[in-house]
Amino acid sequence: MKKVFMFLTLICTILSTYNVNATEIEHDIVNLSTCVDGNSARFMLNNKEIKVKFIATESVPTIMSEYNDEINGSLVNDYVCSILTNAKEIKIEYEPNSEKEDKYGRILAWVYVDDVLLQEHLVELGYAKVAFIYDDYLYNDVLLNAEAKAKEENKGVWKEINEEQEIEPNIPKVEEPKEEENVFKVIMNFINDIFEKLLKLIDDLINDVL
C-alpha cells in the first residue's frame, strides 16, 4: 500500500510540474495588421496594434549583405507576409527567459502560424539564421537543429555562405614591374655595358702604350 501511495504521489508531482510549466508560457491569439519585413510584423491584440519581433532569429535581408543575394530580402519579406496573410490562426508566445520588449519597443515573441513555429520554418528554409539568443530559450534546440539541417542541405542563405567558404584563400600575387621600370632597367643595362666596354678599351690602349 505504501508503494502504491508513493507511486501516486510521484505521478501527481509530475503532472503538477507539467501543468505549472504549461501555464508559465504566456500567449495570445492575434490578427495580422501589417506586414513589416522578414523579422517582424504588426498584429492586432484586443483592438490595439502591437509590433512583434520574431525572437531568436535574423532574416536573410540582413544576413545577405556580405553575399550575392540570390534569395533577396524582398523575396523573404513577401514569403513571410504571404504566410501571415493566409493564416487561419496566429498565436504569439512570450519567452519566459527573455525581456518582453527590445530596445525599439517591439514585443519579443515566438510566432505560431496554424500551429507551425514560424521561426523554425524560416530557419529550415535558410531564410533566417539563429541569432540574438541570450538565455536558455524554449526552442533553442529546435532552431539549432533546423539550422544544422539547412546548412547541411545548402538551403537559402547557407548555399551562398558555404560556397564562399569553399573558395580557396587568395594567394598574394607578385606585382609585375611597371612598364616604366622595365624601360629604365633596359637603359641602365645598356649604359653599364657601354661603360664596361670603354673601360676595357682604355685598359687596352694603356697596355699598348706601355
Of 156 and 130, the one with more pLDDT: 130
Of 158 and 168, the one with more pLDDT: 158
CB 65 within 8 A of CB 114: no
CATH fold for the domain made of 25-166 = OB fold (Dihydrolipoamide Acetyltransferase, E2P) (2.40.50)
| pLDDT tens-digit readout, 63-85 | 554 544 455 678 899 999 999 99
In whole angstroms, how far apart are CA 62 and each of 15, 68, 111, 141, 203? 43, 12, 20, 23, 78
- b/e for 75-113, b at 16 or more Cβ within 10 A? bbbebbbebbeebeebbbbbbeebeeeeeeebbbbbbbb
- Residues in the chain, total: 210
What is the rounded average pLDDT of the residues 93-99? 96
CB 94 within 8 A of CB 134: no
In this prediction, residue 91 carries a pLDDT of 98
Cβ partners under 8 Å of residue 56, min gap 6:
95, 110, 119, 130, 131, 132, 133, 137, 139, 140, 143
Lowest mean pLDDT among 19-23, 56-60, 70-74: 19-23
Q: How far apart are CA 54 and CA 143, in angstroms?
A: 12
In this prediction, residue 19 carries a pLDDT of 42
The reported pTM is 0.65
> Does residue 197 carry a pLDDT above 80?
no
Lowest mean pLDDT among 74-88, 97-111, 160-174: 160-174
